[in-house]
Amino acid sequence: MDPSTDTSSAVARFKQCISQLPHITTDQPGVGGEIKAVPEHFQVEEMLPYAASGEGEHLYVTLRRKGWNTTDVAAALAEPFGLKTRDIGWGGRKDKQAISTQTFSLPMPLRNDLAAAEAQLAQLPFDILAVQRHGNKIKTGHVAANRFRIVLSGVGPEALAPASAIADQLRQRGLPNFYGEQRFGIGMGNLDRAMALIRRQRPARGAQETFWVSVLQSALFNVWLSERMARGDYATILQGDVAQKTDTGGLFTVDDPAEAADRFTRRALVYTGPIYGHKMMPAAEPAAAFEERVLTDYGLTRDLFKRLRAPGSRRRAILHLDDLHIAPDPDGLRLTFTLPPGAYATIVLREFTRPPFLLNEKSDKQDGL
């Protein structure tokens, strides 16, 4: 982007797109309702990709909490053992205004008595569910999935039938894997910060600026997927798409659309969208033209992300919600489902609520909500 270019129009367009993301169940009426009327209405359990071995110099502490953000939990775990917050490991951030179950790791030499450590942990304001030893620290991204149990309140028994119809269509069509609005901050202010960073014409510095770059990448992905849906290509594999195998996660470029379409129908693969960066696996033509057009429409170039030191990646465009279930609840409707890390439960819920989407929440950086 030319530093003299006015970025305000680009920011306005980003915000308009993100606030008006398309739905995949448009032929079904929404049911309204509210989520997070109380924290108990939003429950999430983080699943690790491996179990604690019972041996090693790290302590895996699985706990349940309410009204705490992830970094504050880490600080509370560190204090009794004289550790720093940075010593505590976790896989991803979880919602503060919710009931969240998550595993943290603490460095704990073998000479330290496990029973004594458990006694100290029991004094903390959390429900300690398990304490086990393991050989490594939990690092960011060490998450297999997030299981959700969410109550949609403010709806009556008559909402069950239309909600069930929406769930049926989501199981059949899959869910567009958009980034949720909460990623972009209050008033989508993180987009303003990201574009201001671009105007400075220098690499991103520190965790905060790196996050702002990721916000820009997320907005561009949402634009790309919105435009693909508008073209009618949501359920179509294109020549040149970068596809992902659903069993191994391997990426490849589609050169035989007919063969890929059969595997796509069988859910053996999904197509992916661009998280723009200088190391991103590029699509081939003609799919590449659509990815390039998103950048040029917003006055951006691939060289920008090299200057920002943003490597980029691919993000699967469609999520399959095979375990999505709807049931009556005394407070409305209860939804249960599982999402991979980085996916947003609010994107599932907006298919049911439609505008206005009522989210009773204070700002808190999240993953997988």
Q: Which residues make up the CATH 3.30.2340.10 domain(s) of the chain?
A: 8-30+175-319
Tens-place pLDDT, residues 315-330: 999 999 999 999 999 9
DSSP secondary structure of 51-64: ---S-SSEEEEEEE
Q: Among 3.30.2350.20, 3.30.2040.10, 3.20.20.70, 2.30.30.100, what is the CATH number of 52-134?
A: 3.30.2350.20
Q: Which pLDDT does position 207 carry in this prediction?
A: 87
Catalytic amino acids? 95
Q: What is the pLDDT of residue 51?
A: 93
> What pLDDT, on the 0 to 100 scale, is given for residue 8?
80
The sign of the torsion formed by the CA atoms of 236, 225, 292, 278 equals negative
Give the C-alpha separation, 355 to 352, whole Å: 9
> What tens digit of pLDDT does each residue of 117-158 get?
999 999 999 999 999 999 999 999 999 999 999 999 999 999
Q: Are 97 and 39 in contact (CB under 8 A)?
A: yes
CB-CB contact of 243 with 270 (8 Å): yes
Number of Cβ within 10 Å of residue 7's Cβ equals: 19
| CA gap 229, 231 in Å, rounded | 5
Residue 112's SS3 state is coil
The pLDDT value given to residue 30 = 93
In terms of residues, how long is the chain?
Answer: 369
- Do the Cβ atoms of 197 and 209 come closer than 8 Å? yes
Which residue spans within the chain are E strands per DSSP? 34-35, 42-47, 58-66, 99-107, 127-134, 145-153, 175-176, 242-245, 251-253, 269-275, 313-316, 318-319, 325-329, 332-339, 358-359
Q: What is the pLDDT of residue 3?
A: 44
Task: Please give the structure tokens belonging to residue 259.
Answer: 């063969």
pLDDT of residue 369: 56
* pLDDT attached to residue 357: 52
Distance CA(187)–CA(166), nearest Å, equals: 29
The span from the CA of 48 to the CA of 45, in Å, is: 10
At residue 355, the pLDDT reads: 72
In the prediction, which pLDDT does 199 show?
85
Q: Can the peptide bond before residue 286 be classed as cis, meaning omega within 30 degrees of 0?
A: yes
Domain with CATH 3.30.2350.20 in the chain: 52-134
Give pLDDT < 70 ranges for the chain.
Answer: 1-6, 356-369
Please name the residue that has the structure tokens 């949501």: 234
Helix axes 206-231, 8-19, angle to 10 degrees: 60
Architecture of the 8-30+175-319 domain: 2-Layer Sandwich (3.30)
Q: Residue 28: what pLDDT?
A: 87
